[in-house]
Structure 1
Amino acid sequence: MIIRPRRGNIPSVNIRKQKGVALILAIMIVALVTAISVDITWRFELTLARSANRWHGMQARAYIDGAEQLAKFALRADAEMDNSEDGTLADYFDEDWNQEQMFSTDEGGWISGNVDDALSLFNINSLMEQLPDPENKILGICDKYAPAHRRFIRLLRTVNLATGTISGAERDWLFRSEPRDKKIREPGDDGDDDEGSTSYYNANDEEYMTLDDAEALTEAVIDWLDADDDPTGFNGAEGEYYDRLDPPLTIANGPMASVSELQVIKGMIPEVYNALVDYIIALPPEPAGELGLNLNTLTYPVMRTIAPGPTCLEPMTIEDTDVLVDAVRRNAFIDMTEFKDDLDVKGLMAFSGTAPLEGEGEGDFKFRSNYFLLYSEAMVGEHLRKGSSLLFRQEDGDTYRVDTLRRTDAHF
C-alpha cells in the first residue's frame, strides 16, 4: 500500500528554499538588464561625443582653410595695390595683411589668423652659400666666412645660455605695432615706469655663447647642408661623424626641410635650439632674388646680425640696433637707395666709420617678400584646432597668385 503525504504535510523549509532561489534569480536578471542598459547608454553617448568631435573638428578645419583663403586674398590685394600705385612692391608691418583678425562663428566659437613675413626670420638654408676660403688657410677670421655665415654666428652670440633665451627678443615690440609673442616682456613689466628701460636679464643671468662655440656650430651646420663629404674647418661634421652615433643618422647633404633638423647637428644643445627656433626658418631653395631678408620686417634679434658690432663676428649693440629699428618703423623703405639716404642710417654708419651694409651681402636684403607665414586658430564647441601654413606669392601674368607650399603643426 502506497501512502501519499497530504498537501499540508509538505515541509515549509523546502518552500522557503524555492522562494530564496527565485529571489536571487530575479535580482541577477535585474542586475544583468541594468548592466546591459548602462553599457548601451555609455556606448550611445560615446558615439554621440565622437560624432560631435568629428563634426566640430571638420568644421574647425574648414574655418582654418577659410582663413588661409582670406590670407591669400589679402596678400594678392596688397601686391596689386602696390603695383597699381607706383609699380613698387614693398612689404612692412602696418599693411593690411599683417593685421591680426578674429571673428565669431555661428556655433558660438571663434576663428583668428595672423600673417607674418617669413623673410623677417633668418633662413637657415642660406648657410649653403659657398665659403670664400673652404680650407681656412688664407683669409682672416672674418673674411673666411660668407655674409650669411657671419650673420648666423652673430645670432648665436646673442644666445643667453643661462636663461635659454636670445638677447634682444624682449625688444621686438619696438619693431611691431603689436608684440610678436604675447609672452615677450614689454616696457613696465618689471615695475619700471621708464618707457625706455627694457632690461630683461639680470647681470648674474648672462652667459652668452662663446665665439669658438658659435663658429664650431656654424661649421657643423654648413657640413649638414653642403653636398660634399669634407669637414668644414676644425669642427665640421660630415657623414662619418653621424654614422658613429647610436643610433646612426643619415646626413642631409642638402637644404633642411624644417629647422627641427638642427636638434641632431653636432654641438647643438636644447638651450641654444629653444632660443633660436622662433627667429629662424628653413625656406626651400628658389631662384636668385626670391630669398633674402626683408629689412622692413626683420625681427629685432635678426636685425642685430645685419652689420658687425664691436668686432666683425659680434652682433650690433642694442643702441645701434634701436636706431635702425626706429628708422625702419618710421619710413618703411622701398629700396636700398632710400635706406642708405635715411639721416639716422647715415648718422649711425658715419659714427661707426662704415658704409651701410658694406661687405655684408647687400644683395641679400630686400624690402618686399615672397614668403609669408599664416598662423590660424579655430574654436568650435570644445574643439580647438591650430594651423600653420607657408605661403608663396608670385607674379602670374598681369596679376599675382599665392600658393600654399607647406602646412605643418611643427616648425618650418
Structure 2
Amino acid sequence: MHSHRFSRMPAGRPARSTQGGAALIVALLVFALCTALVVAMELEFSRFYQRGANILLAEQANAYLRGAEDLATLALLADHDADRNRDRPRDDLQEIWAQTPVPYALDEGGWMVGCLRDLQGRFNLNSLATRVTPAEGAPQFTPAQAQFIRLLQALEEPQLGEQEAISITEAVGDWLDRDLEPAMDGAEDDYYVGQTPAYRAANRPMASVSELRAVANMTPEIYRALEPWVSVWPQQPAPLNIHTAPATVLRSINADGELSPLSAAEAEALV
C-alpha cells in the first residue's frame, strides 16, 4: 500500500502577497507625485527668480536711460548758454552736443554710449500733407513735395527714377491729408482696404517715421534707405537746418521747379 501525504499552504499567505504588491504600487505613486511636485516647485521658483531678475534689469536700464537723458540735457543747456553769447546763434556740427560720443563705463560691466541728432537737419515728412490746387500754369508740386522727390532720387541704393519718386511722394501726401481723393499716383482707403490685412489711410500727420512702411508704393528696401534722412515734426513748416543736414539731404535742395537732385559737389558747396 502506498501512503500519500499532503502539505497545506499556510492560510493567509496569498493575501499578504497581494497587500505587499498594492503597497509597492502606492509607494511608487507617492514617489512619482512627490517628484512631480518637486519639479513643479523648482520650475516655479526658477520663473519667480527670472521675473525678479527681469524687473531689476528693467529698472537698471531705465536708470541708465534717465542718466543719458540728463547728460543730453546738460549738453543742450551748455549749447543754449553758448548761443546767447553769439551775435548770430545757430546749431551746427561743431557744437558740444554734436561731438563724437564718449562711451561711459558701467559698474556691472559694459558701456553706455549715445548721440544727439538735429531732426531739423532731416526732411519733415509731415510737410507733404499740403497739395497744390490744380490750375493751368501752376506748379504741379509744392516746394516740400519737389524736395522729397529729389531726396528719393538722391538715395544711393535702391536708385529711384523720377516717376517712382513722384508715386511715393503722392502716396505719402494721401496718407497725410484729410480727404479721401487719391492723387494721380497716390492711394486712399480704396487701396488700403484691399490689402491683407486690410487697413485705412491715417489722414493725419505722422507720429513716427515708421508709418512710412504702411504707405503705398513703399518697399522695405526704400524705407531702410530713406529712414536716416527723414523726421516727423508738427505740420507747421520748419526750415531745414543746412548746417546739420547730411549730404544726402542737402542734395534735395534745388529750385522749386526742378525735380532732379543736386550733385554731391553742388551739395557740398552749399555749406
TM-score under structure 2 length normalisation: 0.81
**Which of the residues 301, 312, 328 maps onto 2:258?**
312
1:135 CA displacement: 1.2
Partner of 1:321: 267
Decide whether the 8 Å contact of 1:101 with 1:114 is kept in 2.
Answer: no
1:218 CA displacement: 1.8
Structure 1 residues 70, 212: closer, same or farther in 2, change over 3 A? same
Partner of 2:167: 216
Decide whether the 8 Å contact of 1:217 with 1:267 is kept in 2.
Answer: yes
Residue deviations 1:210-247 (CA, integer Å, cap 9, x gap)? 21222232223223333445544x334455x3476356
Partner of 2:194: 245
Residue deviations 1:364-403 (CA, integer Å, cap 9, x gap)? xxxxxxxxxxxxxxxxxxxxxxxxxxxxxxxxxxxxxxxx
Partner of 1:191: none
Does 1:60 find its partner at 2:61? yes
Partner of 1:135: 134
The residue type equivalent to 2:194 in the other structure is L
CA distance in 2 between partners of 1:207 and 1:136 (Å): 34
The residue type equivalent to 1:95 in the other structure is E
Q: Which has the higher strand share?
A: 1
CA distance in 1 between partners of 2:230 and 2:97 (Å): 21
Say which is worse superposed, 269-278 or 297-306, in terms of deviation. 269-278
CA distance in 2 between partners of 1:271 and 1:136 (Å): 35
CA distance in 2 between partners of 1:254 and 1:11 (Å): 91
1:300 CA displacement: 2.2
Partner of 1:386: none
Partner of 2:242: 295
Partner of 1:276: 226
The residue type equivalent to 1:126 in the other structure is S
What secondary structure sits across from 1:18 in the alignment? Answer: helix
Structure 1 residues 17, 237: closer, same or farther in 2, change over 3 A? closer
1:104 CA displacement: 2.7
What secondary structure sits across from 2:115 in the alignment? Answer: strand
1:46 CA displacement: 1.4
CA distance in 1 between partners of 2:50 and 2:182 (Å): 56
CA distance in 1 between partners of 2:68 and 2:169 (Å): 37
What secondary structure sits across from 1:20 in the alignment? Answer: helix
1:109 CA displacement: 4.7
1:50 CA displacement: 0.6
The residue type equivalent to 2:210 in the other structure is S
CA distance in 1 between partners of 2:39 and 2:96 (Å): 55
The residue type equivalent to 2:171 in the other structure is A
Does 1:235 find its partner at 2:185? yes
What secondary structure sits across from 1:61 in the alignment? Answer: helix
Counting aligned pairs with the same residue, the percent is 37
CA distance in 2 between partners of 1:321 and 1:20 (Å): 93
What secondary structure sits across from 1:56 in the alignment? Answer: helix
CA distance in 1 between partners of 2:177 and 2:19 (Å): 89
The alignment yields a C-alpha RMSD, in angstroms, of 2.9
The residue type equivalent to 1:114 in the other structure is C
Partner of 2:115: 114
Partner of 1:255: 205
- Unpaired segments of 5 or more residues in structure 2? 1-8
Partner of 2:72: 71
CA distance in 2 between partners of 1:51 and 1:154 (Å): 52
CA distance in 2 between partners of 1:76 and 1:29 (Å): 70
CA distance in 2 between partners of 1:209 and 1:136 (Å): 28
Residue deviations 1:75-121 (CA, integer Å, cap 9, x gap)? 122111221x2243222223221242432333335433221111121
Say which is worse superposed, 244-253 or 25-34, in terms of deviation. 244-253
The residue type equivalent to 1:254 in the other structure is R
Structure 1 residues 25, 270: closer, same or farther in 2, change over 3 A? same
1:129 CA displacement: 4.5
Partner of 2:214: 264
1:138 CA displacement: 1.2
Does 1:35 find its partner at 2:39? no
Partner of 2:101: 100
The residue type equivalent to 1:297 in the other structure is T
Partner of 2:4: none
CA distance in 2 between partners of 1:11 and 1:252 (Å): 87
The residue type equivalent to 2:81 in the other structure is E
Decide whether the 8 Å contact of 2:188 with 2:200 is kept in 1.
Answer: no
Partner of 2:235: 285
Decide whether the 8 Å contact of 1:242 with 1:248 is kept in 2.
Answer: no
Structure 1 residues 89, 278: closer, same or farther in 2, change over 3 A? same
CA distance in 1 between partners of 2:131 and 2:28 (Å): 84
Decide whether the 8 Å contact of 2:91 with 2:243 is kept in 1.
Answer: yes
Map 1:387-406 onto structure 2 (within 5 A). none
Decide whether the 8 Å contact of 1:79 with 1:89 is kept in 2.
Answer: no
Decide whether the 8 Å contact of 1:97 with 1:115 is kept in 2.
Answer: yes
**Which of the residues 146, 149, 154 maps onto 2:150?**
154
Q: Which has the higher helix share?
A: 2
